[in-house]
Amino acid sequence: MLNPNDRLVIASHNKGKIREIRELLEPFQLDVVSADDLGIPEPDETGTTFVENSVLKAVEIMKHCGLPCLADDSGIAIDALNGDPGIYSARWAQKEDGTRDFSLAYDRIFKSLDPQQSHKAHFVCVLTLAFPDGATHSFEGQVHGHIRLPARGDHGFGYDPIFTPEGYSQTFAEMGQDFKEGISHRYHAFEQLKQFLRKP
């Protein structure tokens, strides 16, 4: 279990993801650092599901630092692409030099789909908490909606500018950060994590 002022390592190098997770963890008053802050490299994601990759990242980085680690594996699944890019969401945006440009991913998606139409999709987030005693706990959240070009909005990151959640007219990237964090896939996974952390 985690108590106030305990150190927790976010098993990520994605600055947007780290920022969101830090903000969601604020009520627990933890000493939150990232794998990037500690200079720990990202492990290869060799799993075939979001859960497998989330567990893999949390456990590998926990072994490096000997501290509790929280990993997030998330991505977008598009119905008309049989669930792709799915666990390969980040890789679809990868450039030859290893950096990421999500406009490349948008182009790849809409070369396969009609860019004038909206297409059903959902975001998935799996959070895994790994402890040095070997215990792991995973929590999954989803949010359904659709994708459509052109990309809209300056907030968020990744696929946020082309994803509109059900019941809304704005993309995630057009919504204020606080509002998005209250309805996102990461929020739904975090609600389960929070219940776990509040257990006596």
In a domain, 143, yes or no: yes
The one-letter amino acid code at 105 reads: A
Query: Domain limits at 18?
Result: 7-197
Instruction: Report the pLDDT value the prediction gives residue 129, as an integer from 0 to 100.
Output: 97
- The model's pLDDT over 11-33, given as tens digits with 9 standing for 90+, comes to 988 888 888 888 889 999 999 99
* Cβ atoms of residues 136 and 59 within 8 Å: yes
- To the query of whether residue 97 is one of the catalytic residues in this protein, the response is no
Instruction: Report the pLDDT value the prediction gives residue 3, as an integer from 0 to 100.
Output: 87
Instruction: Report the pLDDT value the prediction gives residue 54, as an integer from 0 to 100.
Output: 96
Give ∠ CA 71-194-146 in degrees, rounded to 5. 65
Give bridge partners of residue 74 from the DSSP assignment. Answer: 125
Given pLDDT bands bounded at 50, 70 and 90, which one contains residue 98? confident
Residue percentage of the chain with pLDDT more than 70: 100
Instruction: Report the pLDDT value the prediction gives residue 105, as an integer from 0 to 100.
Output: 95
Helix H or strand E segment including 55: helix 50-65
pTM: 0.90
Distance CA 30, CA 26 (A): 7
Given pLDDT bands bounded at 50, 70 and 90, which one contains residue 195? very high
Instruction: Report the pLDDT value the prediction gives residue 55, as an integer from 0 to 100.
Output: 97
- The model's pLDDT over 141-177, given as tens digits with 9 standing for 90+, comes to 999 999 998 999 998 889 999 999 999 999 999 998 8
- What is the distance of C-alpha 110 from the center of its chain? 22
Domain count, the chain: 1
Instruction: Report the pLDDT value the prediction gives residue 167, as an integer from 0 to 100.
Output: 96
Instruction: Report the pLDDT value the prediction gives residue 24, as an integer from 0 to 100.
Output: 84
Select which of 31, 37, 72, 73 is catalytic: 73
In a domain, 192, yes or no: yes
Q: Give the distance between the most distant pair of CA atoms in the chain.
A: 52
Average pLDDT of 122-133?
97
Instruction: Report the pLDDT value the prediction gives residue 178, as an integer from 0 to 100.
Output: 84
In a domain, 1, yes or no: no
In a domain, 186, yes or no: yes
The three-class DSSP label of residue 12 is: coil
The three-class DSSP label of residue 186 is: helix
| Beta carbons within 8 Å of 92's beta carbon, 6+ residues apart | 85, 104, 105, 108, 109
Q: Which among 103, 47, 54, 95 has a CA at the least distance from the CA of 74?
A: 54
Assign residue 164 the CATH number of its domain: 3.90.950.10
